[in-house]
Each structure stands twice: as C-alpha cells, then as structure tokens.
Amino acid sequence: MSAAPLPAPPPALAFAMEAQQGAFVQCVTGLQRTLRTTPLGWALVAWLCGDRIAPVALLTWLGLAFTGWVACLLVLARLRRVGPDVQRHNGWLLAVAVTDGAWWGAVMPLLSGDDMALNALLAAVLCGAMAVNAPVYVPRIRAFHAMCAAMWLVALCSLPGHLAPGMADIVMGLGLFMGLLCFVMRDIARRVVEGLRLQLANAALTAQLSEALAAASQQAATDGLTGLPNRRSLDQLLNAQLAMAQREARPFSVLMLDLDHFKAVNDTHGHAMGDAVLRGFAQRIQAQLRRSDVCARYGGEEFCVVLPGTADALALDAGERLRRAVAGAPLAPNVPVTVSVGVATWRAGDDAAALLARADDALYTAKRTGRDRVVAA
C-alpha cells in the first residue's frame, strides 16, 4: 500500500518556510561576498602587529585564519550548490559562523600581550570584524550569535594567561558591545525575515490577482455555450480590422451565418439538443477556417465570421465551404441542419455597422430565397 501524500502546508506556513529559505540563501551569498574582503583585515592585523610581536605568533595566527577562511569558502560554495534546504544545511552555516568568529577571536590569545596600545587596537579590530559581518548575518541571526559566541569565547582564553593589567577591562567592554549588538540585531533580523515573508505573500497575491483578472477578461470576451468570441470581442475585432483596412487599403469580409429553422430543432429535440447543435456548429465552422479567420457568436443562432485579407469571390467561396460543411453531416446525432450565409466585403467609407448591415441584408435574402445558400451583398 503506498503512503498517502503529505498535505500541503497552509499558505502562511508555506510563506514562512520560503522566507526562511530565502534568508538562508541571502546569508550564504552575503558571506561569500564578505569573505572575499577578509584578506584586507589580515593585512590590517599584520600592519598593527608588524614589529610589536614575534613573527612566529603573527604567522601562526595568519595560518590559522587562512585555513579557516579556505574551509569556510569551500563550505559556502557547497551550500550554494545543494540549495536552500534550511533544515538540512543549517548546521554547516553555523559551522562557518563559528570558524569565522574563532579565527578573529584568536587575535587576543595569540597576538595580545603587554603592549596596551596594541591590545586596544586588536580589540578594536574585533569590533570592526563584528560590525562588518553583522549586516551579512542579519537574515540568519542564529549564525551571527554563533559567530559572536565563538569570537567572545576564544578572545576570553587570553584573560587568565598573559594579559596586561587593564586588558581584562577592554575584553569585558568588548563583550558588552557584542551583547548589545546581538540584542539589537535580533529585532532587526526578525523584521527582515518578516519582510521577506510579506514580499513572498505579496508576489503570490499579485500572481493570483493577475490570473483571476486574465480569467475574468477571458470570460468577458467569450461566449459561455460555444467557447467562441462573443459579440463584444467581435466589435473589437471589427474595429481593429476597419482601422487596418483604412490604413493599408487591405480589404476584408464578414459572413453572417444563421441556422435554418432552429426553432424547430428546439421544439422537436429539446433545448439541450439545441445547445448541443450550437456547440457542434461552432466546432464545425472553426475546423474550416484559417488561423487568421475568426468566428464569433453574434447572438442566438446567428454567427459572424471575419475573414481578414479576403474579398468578394474568395469570401463567397469561404461561405460556400462553410455551408457545405454544415449541411454535409448532422451537427448532433440525428439532427440535420442547414445554414444560410450573407457575405459582405468592406468598402472604403464603411464602418462596422454599415458592413454588418449589408451582410445581414444578404443573409435575409438567402433566407427569403429558400435558405441553405450563400448570398453576397
């Protein structure tokens, strides 16, 4: 027995999850970018320590920082590849944050000592590293906390050992600064993730609205029974054709089609069968037309076909082809019907009403002279 599929999460939860993933990706991308500027920080530390400490201590710290830096970049590149599955990859991001904080924190136990000025400068470097990283970690505030904790704990290692008097105050001050920054950042981070969630919800709402709008305008332009363009769309199409015909002197024709004795179909076979005949008629006509031709439902059992770029004789041929297609086989089982067709070709000065009136006159003539025929205006 196959397991039932998991139900989709409610929209609010889905947006929250997506926002978390987006925040994760933002953090990974931002960290990659920021880590590229890290060598500048090393250069600063090397310049500050220069001739004040033993080169071996500086090289040890640089080696440690470089190793951690390469590891972080490799992990981040992998995270970019495997995608934003926060649940599965969050541990790796935290590991990057801890490594990032630890190598900066190691500045204190490895490089500080009796030189008060240097100690203060190194403490300032740590503050700078935190401040530079803070905005990058905003979308994943836990990673920022991990970075700060690692930096702080490693820096604390220098307290019991060789720190000069007064250095403890600097490290404590640094700790206070970290605590305050973490506290303020928590609130900012919450707002950022909430902003992301709202952005996603808005995007989904916009997509839903434009879908609904497209469906509504499609509905407003379509005849519900046959699926053909309705009278409103026909008017728009005719106006467009008229504008083109006037501009380019390119003729077009309209065919008015009216099913013969349709009332009898309804009376004999019922209204439902009448509807089926109308649907079958629409399909039959459409199957006969070119892609550029349009058949619209004019109203009731009357239809109008617009034939762009088609004049007189060719329009008459098209009408005849449609008439034969309808008469050739029943449109619904055992309900044979025929159609009468009036043809009119656009003439300079015609507006839509004049053109349709001439096609209607021709249709009336076709009806009057026996039906099941095509008459040109």
Ligand X SMILES: Nc1nc2c(ncn2[C@@H]2O[C@H](COP(=O)(O)OP(=O)(O)OP(=O)(O)O)[C@@H](O)[C@H]2O)c(=O)[nH]1
Residues catalogued as catalytic: 301
Give the interface segment with ligand X, choosing from 32-40, 139-147, 184-192, 256-264 (CB under 6 A). 256-264
The DSSP element (H or E) to which 311 belongs, if any, is: none
- For residues 161 and 109, the answer to whether their CB atoms sit within 8 Å is yes
- Is residue 152 close enough to count as binding ligand X by CB under 6 A? no
* Interacting residues with ligand X between 190 and 219 (CB under 6 A): none
Nearer to ligand X, 186 or 269 (CB): 269
Q: Where are the alpha helices (DSSP H) in the chain?
A: 11-35, 38-49, 55-82, 86-105, 107-111, 116-137, 141-156, 167-221, 231-248, 262-269, 271-288, 312-328, 352-368
**Distance between CA 307 and CA 77 in Å, rounded?**
60
- Is residue 231 close enough to count as binding ligand X by CB under 6 A? no
**Distance between CA 358 and CA 343 in Å, rounded?**
8
Give the interface segment with ligand X, choosing from 123-131, 162-170, 201-209, 270-278 (CB under 6 A). 270-278
- Is residue 19 close enough to count as binding ligand X by CB under 6 A? no
Q: For residue 357, what are its two tokens?
A: 């009136």
Chain position whose Cβ is nearest to ligand X:
274
- Is residue 372 close enough to count as binding ligand X by CB under 6 A? no
| Amino acid of residue 248 | E
CB of 374 to ligand X, least distance (A): 15
- Is residue 319 close enough to count as binding ligand X by CB under 6 A? no
Nearest residue to 259 via CA among 218, 314, 315, 299? 299
Q: For residue 318, what are its two tokens?
A: 């098209």
Residue with tokens 């981070």: 189
CB of 275 to ligand X, least distance (A): 5
Nearer to ligand X, 18 or 258 (CB): 258
From 171, 193, 252, 258, residue interacting with ligand X (rule: CB under 6 A): 258
CB of 371 to ligand X, least distance (A): 6
- Is residue 122 close enough to count as binding ligand X by CB under 6 A? no
From 274, 280, 319, 342, residue interacting with ligand X (rule: CB under 6 A): 274
Q: Is 265 left (phi over 0), alpha (psi -120 to 50) or beta?
A: alpha
Nearer to ligand X, 104 or 262 (CB): 262
From 38, 134, 150, 260, residue interacting with ligand X (rule: CB under 6 A): 260
Instruction: Give residue 94's Cα distance to chain centre.
Output: 31
Nearer to ligand X, 191 or 263 (CB): 263
**Distance between CA 318 and CA 309 in Å, rounded?**
12
Residue 135 is classified by DSSP as H
- For residues 97 and 28, the answer to whether their CB atoms sit within 8 Å is no
Give the interface segment with ligand X, choosing from 51-59, 164-172, 191-199, 259-267 (CB under 6 A). 259-267
Give the interface segment with ligand X, choosing from 13-21, 81-89, 160-168, 267-275 (CB under 6 A). 267-275
- Is residue 281 close enough to count as binding ligand X by CB under 6 A? no
- Is residue 223 close enough to count as binding ligand X by CB under 6 A? no
From 21, 90, 266, 288, residue interacting with ligand X (rule: CB under 6 A): 266
Binding-residue pattern over the window 55 to 94 for ligand X, x denoting contact by CB under 6 A: ----------------------------------------
Sort strands 302-308 and 374-376 into parallel, antiparallel or unpaired. unpaired
- Is residue 367 close enough to count as binding ligand X by CB under 6 A? yes
- For residues 152 and 123, the answer to whether their CB atoms sit within 8 Å is no
Nearer to ligand X, 274 or 342 (CB): 274
Altogether, the residues listed in the chain come to a count of 377
- Is residue 368 close enough to count as binding ligand X by CB under 6 A? no
Phi/psi at 113 (5° precision) = -170, -130
Question: Helix, strand or coil for residue 369?
Answer: coil
From 263, 290, 347, 368, residue interacting with ligand X (rule: CB under 6 A): 263
Summarize as ranges the residues that interact with ligand X (CB under 6 A). Answer: 225, 258-263, 266, 271, 274-275, 278, 300-301, 367, 371
